[in-house]
Structure 1
Amino acid sequence: MFETLNQTLVDTLGPAGPLLALGGAGIVLIVLALPTILKRERDPLDRIREQRAGNKPDDVQKLRRGGKSPGAEKLERFADYLEPKTAEELSATRLKLLRAGYHSKDAVRMFHFAQFALGLGILGVGLLLALLKSTQQEMTTTTMVLYTIVPAAIGYYAPQYWVQRRIQGRQAEITAGFPDALDMMLVCVEAGQSLDQSIIRVGNEARAGYPALAEEFEMVAHEVKAGKERSVVLRDMSERVGLPDITSFTTTLIQSSSFGTSIADALRVYSAEMRDKRIMRAEEKANTIPTKLTLGTMLFTVPPLLVILIGPSLYKFAAQMTGG
């Protein structure tokens, strides 16, 4: 019976018929299971636990948190499927999204939903294209994989690539604007402002040129205003940014506050060090320019030069050989 079914699929859909039938059956099962998952009601015990933990009704908690978007409410039903099972993996994913600039509480769910949707959607499109292609001509297994599995893998890993690029861009922006922010903070502190006021001023002034750095400073200012300890807020900032320069900066401020030393002196020394590091990074990039220009020089300068120098001789030689 199995051989008969296999032969029927091969005769109808081509050599890749069994694979197409298996993929189509998987998509059908997923579509049939979605209504059941969507209709699943929330456990009343979870609601009671949240109310006891916060001592506030659900509506009040939503208002305090700023509310959630309708899309986030829909993803709440898929929390068991869109969030990692272990706490370590969940915290690692959340930290990665924080470093990429996604501070929403539903960022982890949206990230995994994007992976699932892109992977499954591109897989369905690939299967449809492969089915249409197989009706016109026979397809090999390699061609079938190129039409289905490879695009699905690209769609699944595309959100990871996007988040990694966002992290690199934000870190590069923060690194570029950090020395100027330190100089401005030093000026504010020496002018008589407190550290919290200088952080707020730097955040406001840096928004035009370095929005990522301004966002981090404003977050620090808001958390300090909310009553959180400054040392904890600064450590959270260093962990959230993930740069050695920011970690050293926060450590310097925490030590200055703990031992009662002058914050202005610490900022003066550290800002001078950051300026030196910026000059060193610029010199390092300048030293790599000749190496990068070598390939371009060989490709765009040497061939025209050879044509100019050797071209006339080759032309005369060809003319003489033709005339002879």
Structure 2
Amino acid sequence: MAYFDMVVEALLGPDGMMYVAGAAGLLLIVLSLPMVMRKRVDPLDRLREDRGSESHEENVERLSKHGASNEFLTKYAAYLEPEDEDELSKTRMMLVRAGYGGRDAVRTLNAAQMVLGLGLLTIGVFYVLVLAPGMSPVNMFLYSVVPGLVGYYAPKYWLQKRVAKRQEEIQDGFPDSLDLLLVCVEAGQSLDQSIIRMATEIEPSYPALAQEFLLVSHEMKAGKDKGDVLRAMAERCDLQDITSFVTVLIQSQSFGTSIADALRVYAAEMRDKRVMRAEEKANVLPTKLTVGTMMFCVPPLLIILIGPSIFGISQSLGGGGGSF
């Protein structure tokens, strides 16, 4: 350090250290000036700018469940949506009952029908013309047109199966949900809080039913009329048990009767109906087993018992001269 002081004093004179300190200070100021002048952006301001730069349609697409494919489907919306309002409404309701309530569900279904239909039709035509030429007209029609028809109607068939499976799940879990709802109501909670708590508890076992009840609670929180919300739920589920449940709640609200008493009676009725459905399935089981037994057990048994006799008779009548 003393050597450095001696060098500075020899070069700059007795006040050399002051010059060095001043130069170092100016250098630090020059280096820190851009950082000081740069304005720190508030995260909220940045979020407002990002939202302002996006259009309303882009915001809707970004918040949608299937936002990644919305832009592509929107380009062909005129070809992927039915022009008939009744048909569009029926298709959308079927998709909602299957658990697909997104705004692009109808477009996705029609796109799947078109892709599968045209794809299988192309494969069938390629097989007929290239891989197996020289077929008869009937075989050409079967191997080319039938796969296209199967590909076109397969998504709707799968959707109907999905609706039936979802309705069965809702019907199986409905008695348990009523019991939980009754417990929550009798514990002093309001109907809205009871629905939320019940839906949270049954979600691992019956996610479809929990989704419907959570949607009801969210719509009630949004300020919609309770009767309209419950009727919409009954229309989405399309089950007689849910429709009767909605009627019970609406009548209890209209006449001012106790919801707990109505739920207690209706929950007991739903438990009895579940036992009756189980007994019905048990009573049908012997008939189904009889059909299977007749198809797979009786023919081999007849072959074992009657086969030798038929063989001996055929040998005797054929002049074989031998006996079995």
Same fold (TM over 0.5): yes
What whole-Å deviation, never above 9, does each CA across 1:79-99 have from its counterpart, x for those lacking one?
A: 111111121111111001000
Unaligned runs of 5+ in 2: 1-51
Q: CA deviation at 1:155?
A: 0.3
Contact 2:312 2:323 in 1 (8 A): no
Q: What SS is found at the alignment partner of 1:264?
A: helix
Aligned to 2:322: 322
Aligned to 2:130: 132
Contact 1:114 1:159 in 2 (8 A): yes
Summarize the Cα distance change of 1:287–1:77 in structure 2 as closer, same or farther, 3 Å threshold: same
Summarize the Cα distance change of 1:146–1:307 in structure 2 as closer, same or farther, 3 Å threshold: closer
Aligned to 2:252: 256
What whole-Å deviation, never above 9, does each CA across 1:228-251 have from its counterpart, x for those lacking one?
A: 222111111111111111111111
Summarize the Cα distance change of 1:168–1:57 in structure 2 as closer, same or farther, 3 Å threshold: farther
Match of 1:152 among 141, 148, 152: 148
Aligned to 1:76: 74
What whole-Å deviation, never above 9, does each CA across 1:150-195 have from its counterpart, x for those lacking one?
A: 0000000011001100000000000111011101111111111111
Aligned to 1:246: 242
1:164 paired to 2:163 = no
Aligned to 1:112: 110
Match of 2:85 among 80, 84, 87: 87
TM-score, length-scaled by structure 2: 0.75
Matched residue count = 267
1:285 paired to 2:243 = no
Alignment-mate amino acid for residue 202 of structure 1: M
Q: What SS is found at the alignment partner of 1:139?
A: coil
1:211 paired to 2:211 = no
Unaligned runs of 5+ in 1: 1-55
Aligned to 1:295: 291
Q: CA deviation at 1:140?
A: 1.1
Q: What SS is found at the alignment partner of 2:203?
A: coil
Q: Which has the higher contact order (CA 8 A, sep 6+)?
A: 1
Alignment-mate amino acid for residue 290 of structure 1: P
Contact 1:133 1:139 in 2 (8 A): no
TM-score, length-scaled by structure 1: 0.75
Aligned to 1:233: 229
Higher Cα radius of gyration: 2
Aligned to 1:184: 180
**How many Å separate the matches in 1 of 2:123 and 2:301?**
51
What whole-Å deviation, never above 9, does each CA across 1:16-60 have from its counterpart, x for those lacking one?
A: xxxxxxxxxxxxxxxxxxxxxxxxxxxxxxxxxxxxxxxx99634
Match of 1:123 among 112, 117, 121: 121
CA RMSD, Structure 1 to Structure 2 (Å): 2.6
**How many Å separate the matches in 2 of 1:264 and 1:286?**
33
Aligned identity (percent) is 57
**How many Å separate the matches in 2 of 1:147 and 1:310?**
42
